[in-house]
Amino acid sequence: MKIFIDTANLDMISEINSWGILDGVTTNPSLIAKEGTDTKTRVNEIARIVDVPISAEVMAVDAEGMVKEGRELASIHPNVNVKLPMGIEALKATKVLSSEGIDVNVTLIFSAQQALLAAKAGARYVSPFVGRLDDIGMYGSEVIRQITEVFYNYGFDTEVIAASIRGPIHVLEAASAGCDIATIPYNVLQQMVSHPKTDEGIRNFIKDYEKSKK
Ligand code: E4P
């Protein structure tokens, strides 16, 4: 499974890249706003520090505007893919942009039916939001499983990005479902590294080593 980081923070992106596990970066307008910058500037900066796909979201809500903004974002760097919020306008824009060779990530996906339509329109990625489904009492990981199954059944090339990940268990469930990608916040990546028994084991190895030197 590919691992993307879900952030617009340059230090976090650099740090995770240094771990040797980074396959991509996803941003969204909220993550960009948190950094006090704008999408074009930040995507440009990200493209200078890592050589992986970077999702940049449009603010337009009509197909024509999404296409225009999408072309501008894609022209920043060949690694940039255009994030469009799911809807009829996004489907129309996906068709146009994908036919021009621009990769589209259809975001704010909450059902397999939405994912199916996005894939048919030519999306390179779909981003179902696991945590936000859990927030409303649904089982987000089940939607990941359904989409993965549907895409497998019909041989779609569209990759599934498990998004809105809130903890390591979401990553495990996405991986178990055969999901292509998980886009993971920095704190969850840190949680995935740790295990109390690993820490205990390291402490004991050091203790035994120190004892043997006496
Ligand atoms: C995905 O690409 C989105 O940026 C992100 O995963 C949304 O997550 P949230 O529900 O934690 O805001």
Atom 6 of ligand 1 has which residue's CA nearest to it? 164
**Residues noted as catalytic:** 83
Q: Please give the distance of CA 66 from its chain centroid, rounded to a whole number.
A: 20
Rounded-to-integer distance, Cα 115 and Cα 103, Å: 15
pLDDT value at position 204?
A: 97
Among the residues of the chain, which ranges form H helices? 10-18, 29-34, 39-49, 63-74, 88-99, 112-121, 130-135, 140-154, 168-176, 186-193, 196-213
Pocket of ligand 1 (CB under 6 A): 6, 26, 28, 107, 127, 129, 131-132, 163-164, 183
pTM: predicted TM-score of the whole model, two decimal places: 0.96
Output the average pLDDT for the chain: 98
Q: How many CB atoms lie within 10 A of CB 165?
A: 24
Name the β-bridge partners of 162: 182
pLDDT band at 161 (very low <50, low <70, confident <90, very high): very high
Q: How confident is residue 213, by pLDDT bands cut at 50, 70 and 90? A: confident
Which protein residue has the closest C-alpha to ligand 1 atom 12?
A: 164
Average pLDDT on 155-174 reads: 98
Measure 211 CA to ligand 1 centroid, in angstroms.
48
* Mean pLDDT, range 196-212, rounded to an integer: 96
Report the pLDDT averaged over residues 196-201: 96
Distance from C-alpha of 59 to C-alpha of 119, rounded to nearest angstrom: 21
3-61 confidence digits (pLDDT tens): 999 999 999 999 999 999 999 999 999 999 999 999 999 999 999 999 999 999 999 99
In angstroms, rounded to a whole number, what is the distance separating the alpha carbons of residues 70 and 81?
Answer: 8
Residues belonging to the chain = 214
Q: Closest ligand 1 atom, CA of 132?
A: 10
Determine the distance separating the centroid of ligand 1 and the alpha carbon of 12, expressed in angstroms.
Answer: 16
Q: Which residues pair with 3 in a beta bridge?
A: 182
Contact predicate 125/80, CB 8 Å:
no
pLDDT at 214 (0 to 100): 78
